[in-house]
Every structure is written in structure tokens, then in C-alpha cells.
Structure 1
Amino acid sequence: MTQLIPYLAFDNTKDALSYYEEVFGATDVQRLPVGKEQAGQFGVDPEQADNMTMHSEFKVAGHTLYAADKFNKAGDFNSSISLSINWQKDNAEETKAMTELFERIAAHPETTVDMPIGEQFWGGVMGALKDKYGVDWMFNGN
């Protein structure tokens, strides 16, 4: 089975992982720091290598995401796309869980809510927000 897994880039993935655990309830968090022997390959000080992340994985609402440090690459990669969490709105348990997750994230002081979650004219439930790292999230119940 093939998969498409979003791969996010952060200035400090180690801190971002803590944020996603606290605010989004991220689970199954794994982090692979840069080893001192790989520091030169990544262009980082060997003494700082352990604080740098070459790869990480975590789950939000059961969906896997990957992340790593930017390693001095320019650009605001994360604001170029939106991540959409979709569910069946007829499933009361899923709707409750996704609404509660949206509201928990929305309540964080560094979150910008673009669209409060609610019933939409097309019959679905939708909400949109931007997290503290500039990642756009859409919550979409159809």
C-alpha cells in the first residue's frame, strides 16, 4: 500500500514536537537527532547536533506526519500547504473527537482561527486554523 505522508520543516523540530504533543495531543512521537558523526553532513556544530532533528514522526488524530529541521534552508515551507483532517460527520464519536480537538487547538494563544468549526452551507462541518508554526489545518466532516 502506498502512502502520502506530509513532511514538515521547522527551525527547531525538537520544540515543535513538544508543542504538537501538548496542543494537538500528538501520539507515537519519535525523534532521530543528528549524531555528532553526521554533524558535518548537515552543516551543524557537533556540540549542537543532539538538539537538531534529522527525522521525526508523530500522529495527529491517527494520521502520521514526518518532520525535520530546516538546516538553514530558506523559505517558509509550512505555510505553502494546508493539512486537512477529514471524517464522516454522521459518525457522532468522530465528530465529537474532531470538534474537541479543533477547539483545544483554537484555544491555544498562538493559534489563529480562520474559520470557526461549524455546519456549512454544503451540508458538511468545517473549521480552519493556523498553528504557531504557520501550518494551516482544515477540519472537514462530510
Structure 2
Amino acid sequence: MMARLVPYIFSEDAKSQAEFYVKALGGEIRSVQTFGDLPGSAEELKNKVIHLDMEAAGVPLFLSDSPSGPIHRGNGTDLSLIFGTEDEAREAFAKLSEGGVVKDPLQVQFWGALFGRLEDKFGVSWQVSNEFAPIQS
């Protein structure tokens, strides 16, 4: 059995959130469907996003506006981005943390890699690090 894992993020403004991720991490919004694309959709939902397909930092993401009210984020999941270089990790951490909250500053950890945690301005928690190849003994 084989599957792909694609994070699906519910949002209060999926289009703005996706644009923020593209600006912060590079990538593209591949498609956007609104509730207005559904037959018989309620008028107040017509411009809300039912499904947005995007890529950021080479990672596929799906987003949707929440039709049932405010989003309540849990503390049980972080999205983890591992970059090939320190410079990429530093740039992504700085951009994702704009308007958000740094939980753990990006710094070299005891295992030798950069690592930091943040909550972006949309309430999504991220871990950012770089690839680390330990010295072979």
C-alpha cells in the first residue's frame, strides 16, 4: 500500500493564506474552487474557497475556507519543513514568522542542525530545519 500525505489546512481566508505561503516559501497556487462552483450553493458562501491546490517550498498543500465559523487550532500537529541549506531554512523561518509568533528561535541544536518552531499569522505551527549529515566516526 502506498499513499501521498498532503496537509489540508482549513482557513478563515484561504486565498490570503495561500498567497502568504507562496510569497514566503516560493511555489504557486495551482487551482481554486469556490462554493459558488457547487450547484445550489448558499449565496453567502459563493466566494468562499471550497478547495485550493497549491505548492509551497516544493510541498503540496490543500486549503479551504471554513464554512462553519472560526478555526480552532490544536497543539497536536506541526508542519515540518526540512531545507537543503542553512540559508534556505533561515529565509523560510524569517518569512513564515512575519506577523506570527516564534515559539523556539531558529538556532543550531545539540544534534548539529538548525531547528526552530513558529506559529504563523494564520495560527499554523511550523518546524523549520536544515538537512544535517552527522560526521561518521
TM above 0.5: yes
TMscore range, shorter length:
0.7 to 0.9
Between Structure 1 and Structure 2, which shows a larger proportion of helix residues? 1
Q: Is residue 82–residue 137 contact of structure 1 (8 Å, CA) maintained in 2?
A: yes
Question: Equivalent residue of 2:53, what SS?
Answer: strand
Give the one of 40, 50, 53 matched to 1:54: 50
Say if 1:26 and 1:72 are closer, same or farther in 2 by CA, change over 3 A: farther
- Per the alignment, residue 72 of structure 2 pairs with 76
> Does the 8 Å CA contact 1:84/1:137 hold for their aligned counterparts?
yes
CA–CA distance in 1 between the matches of 2:106 and 2:36? 42
Alignment of 1:9-24 (within 5 A): 9-22=10-23, 24=24
Instruction: Provide the rounded CA distance (Å) in 2 between the counterparts of 1:80 and 1:123.
Output: 25
Normalised to the residue count of structure 1, the TM-score between the two structures is: 0.76
Offset at residue 20 of structure 1 (A) = 2.3
> What is the SS of the residue equivalent to 2:96?
helix
Partner of 2:96: 105
Q: Which residue of 1 aligns with 2:119?
A: 130
Cα distance between partner residues in 2 of 1:80 and 1:73? 21
Between the aligned partners of 1:82 and 1:133, the Cα distance in structure 2 is 13
Query: Which residue identity does 2:28 align to in structure 1?
Result: D
Partner secondary structure for residue 60 of structure 2:
strand
Q: Which runs of 5+ in 1 are unaligned?
A: 89-93
Q: Identity of counterpart residues, as a percentage?
A: 24
Once the 2 structures are TM-superposed, how far is the Cα of residue 54 of structure 1 from its aligned partner?
0.9
**What is the distance in 2 between the residues matched to 1:73 and 1:80?**
21
Residues 101 and 37 (structure 1), Cα distance of their counterparts in 2 relative to 1, 3 Å cut: closer
Q: Let me know the Cα RMSD of the aligned residues.
A: 2.3
